[in-house]
Chains A and B, each alone.
Chain A
Amino acid sequence: MTMINRAVDIAPDTGTAEAAPGITRVEVTVPTRAERAGRSYTSRDKIYPKLAHGTFRKVKWAVMVATLGIYYLLPWIRWDRGPNLPDQAFLLDFANQRLFFGPIEIWAQELYYITGLLIVSALCLFLVTAVAGRMWCGYTCPQTVWTDLMILVERFWQGDRNARIRLDNSPWTIEKIWRKTATHLSWLLVAVATGGALVFYFRDAPTLAAELIRGDAPTLAYVFLGIFTATTYLLGGIAREQVCIYMCPWPRIQGAMFDRDSLLISYRGYRGEPRGPHRKGQSWEGRGDCIDCKACVAVCPMGIDIRDGVQLECIQCALCIDACNDIMQRIDRPQGLIAYDTFRNLDAASHHERAPLRLVRARTVLYAALIALVGGVMLAAWLSRSVLEVDVLHDRNPIYVQLSDGGLRNGYTVKILNKTHATRTFRLAVDGLEHAELSIVGLGAGSPAIDVVPDNLRALKVFVTVPAAERDDLKGTTTPLRFAITDVNDGTTTYHETMFQGPSHE
């Protein structure tokens, strides 16, 4: 096997260590672009992202605090639902097949609300992507946030980019061992805390916390704690950008989501090229603003060069904007050589024109309309959600029963689901056949009281009989009929349509 063709810097080596007076040129290959060939695998060039300073870095710190804060605090918010119910505001109670979101309570059979929520989330992701690219990836994706957090920890123990490279290249000294150990232990600590926070969503948080401290939590809690610890440590600490590049399907869908009017993090080549180091006193006429200092590459957590344009690996975290703006300020050139911009404007600018930003366009309007539609349907479904569900099933075999006195009887299964947290008492009546007699197996004839205990379903076998003398009431083989279910306590009545079947001819 021959080692060949290790791709190096994209810009030609100009043989200087300074990109501009006072600005060191970072000696950096573009790790993610480095290729290996002729081997059964490609090793990864480790990325050492340099700490960026600037607006977007500050925004990202704020987003990290906000998202992690919400994630860690949410399970601890209490919500009083009365006796016999969990008082955790956000609880995925799989054991009892209930999801609690504050005042909202979703039963297993209503999981379509979650489906709706996922659809709305996906559409929101589409909309944001159409407007401003991979905002989700760059700022709020858990993979990004935790990788950022893990890098923060790494930086705390091992220093910034240059110190980390030095440490990695140095032999295994006591100092290297303890710095590495401290880093990995801290990662594990972060990972445990992460896994812990997730299990709190599935079981009463204070109870589970006490159980975990005492060591008598359910086995499943430890299993999931272990799984989430391992995945956080592996994906956030070790795998990092490889998750986005190799595992995540989203980057591959991006191409269909962007268009020429999407705001993407872009290197403004029309301003930057031709790039090259800037000598002291050299004129800026006839050359680009890019001094090829590679500050943008050094800060990139994905190990790419944004100057290559939009690419699958770019999560659009905007750190290169910060890095470049810092440099532009120091060399006294206008900021925004790297900035959020649209393809349309980049094209126009290369002809010395400007293309206005078009936020309202077919794609965004469509996404917004779909979000409004699905959201509206969900809201309507939620507002009309009943705390009582009744199903009436007509017997199919036999469809009707001829009685010895000439009467006709139909059988029904009536299922009453009480979604409240108190026992409810109902009375059942037939509406539509004046002389029909009703009886319920186990409860008797007439209109017996039907108790349905809280959070429960009661199935009743109900018989409706039309006496021989009243068979004239029937309208042919099928007579419309409805059951009236009356709540004895509040007097409300709901109706459920069904039919009464008889023989085809008399």
Chain B
Amino acid sequence: MTNKDIDSVTGVETTGHVWDGNLRELNKPLPRWWLYVFYATIVWAIGYWIVYPAWPTLNGYTQGYLGYSQRGSVDKQVADAKAAQAKYLQQIAATSLEEIEKNQELMPFVIAGGAAVFGDNCSPCHGRGAQGGVGFPNLNDDDWLWGGTPAQIERTITYGIRSGHKEAHDTAMPRFGLDGILKPNEIEDAAQHVLSFSGKSTDPAAAERGTKIFADNCAVCHGENGKGNQELGAPNLTDGIWLYGGKLADIEKTIETGRGGVMPFWTGRLDPVTIKMLAAYVHSLGGGK
């Protein structure tokens, strides 16, 4: 230490660095305990390397004495969560859908679980709140194509609609226009007749002409009064709810093309208990019968 620089005011040695020509920093050492804590952290780090995974190697990393891994920790948490759910899932499997809805202990689990499953699998078409859209039914209302009891909902989810599964709801509306069954003017008359069920026909004469067309072509499924038939998935044409729109043009388009929307089957993709939970959830949305 040849160039010891002592500050003249305090008599304390400086660090030797000079800033802006005259600023010097006093060399005020750390408290001893502080330094020892610093050494202790180094010792701690060495211990940590031994106990926990720390250093990359050419083909992996040092595993550490405890063999800890974050992935393993997550796996354990998932397993724990599954184990915690098991008791509810067993109960759901053993309880009828009607009983589940009355079960105050089970219902919060069903709602939470059902909402999660719905969000993952159903919401792309039916919407996050099951509010539906054109071509995709609103599951909150009381208008059901294939029936709104818990059991009917469960069946629809399990096998789907025109999904290709042999148990699926499979009936479809003919493509009256595209297949040349009805002429365009007949389609318009039939559409006017359909509108007349809810008193919205714009052309009473056309609606009158449509009566026979409807009776010959539509009443088989939709019924003489247009009340529909859930056995065949034929919508009620007298209410205020229209899957593909309730304007004249929408209805004409429906008659022309037959629509024929598809819902996939979920059996095989979701296990029966999950489907049951989903059915109870959908039924609880408010429109369930």
Contact = CB atoms under 8 A, between A and B. Distances in A.
Interface of A: 1-2, 4-5, 7, 35-44, 239, 242, 246, 395-398, 401-406, 409, 411, 441-442, 459, 461, 463
Contacts, number: 107
Given A396-B129, A402-B141, 17 more contacts: A2-B4, A4-B4, A41-B32, A41-B34, A42-B29, A397-B127, A398-B130, A398-B131, A401-B287, A402-B138, A403-B141, A403-B142, A404-B141, A411-B285, A442-B104, A459-B108, A463-B286
Contacts of A405: 239-240
Contacts of A442: 101-102, 104, 107, 284
A35 B27 CA distance: 10
B140 interface: yes
A442 B28 CA distance: 73
Contacts of B29: 36-42
A140 to B, nearest CB: 25
Contacts of B285: 411
B1 A35 contact: no
Contacts of B129: 395-398
Interface in B214-252: 236, 239-241
Interface residues of B, number: 39
B31 interface: yes
Contact of A404 (B6, B128, B236): B236
Contacts of A441: 101, 107, 284, 286
B13 interface: yes
A409 B239 CA distance: 15
Contacts of B140: 398, 401, 409, 411
B30 interface: yes
A1 B129 CA distance: 76
A52 B241 CA distance: 92
A38 B3 CA distance: 12
Nearest to A462: B286
B46 interface: no
Contacts of A43: 32
B143 interface: yes
A1 B1 contact: yes
A411 B88 CA distance: 26
Contacts of A397: 127-129, 131
Interface string B78-121: 00000000000000000000000110100110010000000000
Closest 8 CB pairs of A and B: A397-B129, A398-B131, A404-B239, A41-B35, A404-B143, A37-B13, A401-B140, A42-B29
Interface in B252-289: 284-287
Contacts of A461: 111, 284, 286
A44 B31 contact: yes
B205 interface: no
B240 A404 contact: yes
A403 B139 CA distance: 11
Contacts of B143: 403-404
B75 to A, nearest CB: 25
B101 to A, nearest CB: 6
B178 interface: no
Contacts of A2: 1, 4
A5, A43, A441 — most chain B CB neighbours (10 Å)? A441
Contact of A406 (B11, B138, B236, B240): B240
B31 A246 contact: yes
B138 A38 contact: no
Contacts of B30: 40-42
A409 B286 CA distance: 9
A442 B31 CA distance: 68
Contacts of A35: 12, 28
A43 B36 CA distance: 11
B12 A5 contact: yes
A338 B22 CA distance: 39
B19 interface: no
A398 B286 CA distance: 12
A468 to B, nearest CB: 8
B33 interface: yes
B13 A40 contact: no
Given A42-B31, A442-B107, A37 B12 contact: yes
Nearest to A444: B102
21 contacts: A4-B6, A4-B13, A5-B11, A5-B12, A35-B28, A37-B12, A37-B28, A38-B4, A40-B35, A42-B30, A246-B31, A395-B129, A397-B129, A398-B127, A401-B141, A401-B287, A404-B240, A405-B240, A406-B239, A411-B140, A463-B286
A420 B108 CA distance: 23
A363 B11 CA distance: 39
Contacts of A401: 131, 138, 140-141, 286-287
A404 B227 CA distance: 11
A398 B139 CA distance: 10
Contacts of A406: 239-240
Contacts of A5: 6, 11-13
Nearest to B104: A442
A203 B240 CA distance: 62
A2, A5, A246, A402 — most chain B CB neighbours (10 Å)? A402
Nearest to A246: B31
Interface string B136-150: 001011110000000
Given A239-B33, A442-B102, A442-B107, A37 B27 contact: yes
Given A38-B27, A397-B129, A405-B239, A44 B32 contact: yes
Contacts of B236: 404
A42 B29 CA distance: 6
A303 to B, nearest CB: 13
Contacts of A398: 127, 129-131, 138, 140
Contacts of A44: 31-33
B30, B33, B108, B287 — most chain A CB neighbours (10 Å)? B33
B1 A41 contact: no
Nearest to B235: A404
A38 to B, nearest CB: 5
Contacts of B128: 397
